[in-house]
Amino acid sequence: MMGADIVAIARCWIGTPYVHQASLRGAGADCLGLLRGVWRALYGQEPGFIPAYSPDWSEPQGEEVLWRALSARMLAKPLDVDAGGDVILFRMRDRSVAKHLGLQARVGETASFVHAYAGHGVLETSLSAPWQRRIVARFAFPDVQ
């Protein structure tokens, strides 16, 4: 699957309201729900069992649960090698766990990403310097079998 195809799938979710733990295009999604929806479009099934999670999940324990799960299912990439369709993992606060996701849409000077953001829903946002500083990992989708 080409990065442009992944970006097109993610952009179909734009306008979906933010709903914690949801993953239904047009009805509701959080950042993980958006990624799950793109995964289902690519592979025809969920990426695996997703247990219920609270908004502060894994913070009290300081465990990088999402990072480990992405590493087990996706292909890790160097941070400085960006491409459309990459999954980007963000650490939203210093010394907190990384738990926000987006899909890179554009690269270069007009870089952007699609993500589900509380209070905004699914949207495409400029990958500005403040967002770039929060990136802790990049992943590529495995080849479709």
Q: Which CATH number fits the domain that encloses residue 84?
A: 3.90.1720.10
At 82-118, the pLDDT tens digits run 999 999 999 988 888 898 999 999 999 999 999 999 9
Residue 145 within a domain: no
Total structural domains within the chain: 1
* pLDDT tens column, 76-88: 999 999 999 999 9
Q: 124 and 11 in contact (C-beta within 8 Å)?
A: yes
Q: Which has more pLDDT, 52 or 140? A: 140
Which positions ≥6 away from 102 have C-beta within 8 Å?
Answer: 31, 87, 88, 90, 113, 114, 115, 125
Pick left, alpha or beta for residue 69 (phi over 0 → left; psi -120 to 50 → alpha; otherwise beta).
Answer: alpha
**Range of 126's domain?**
3-140
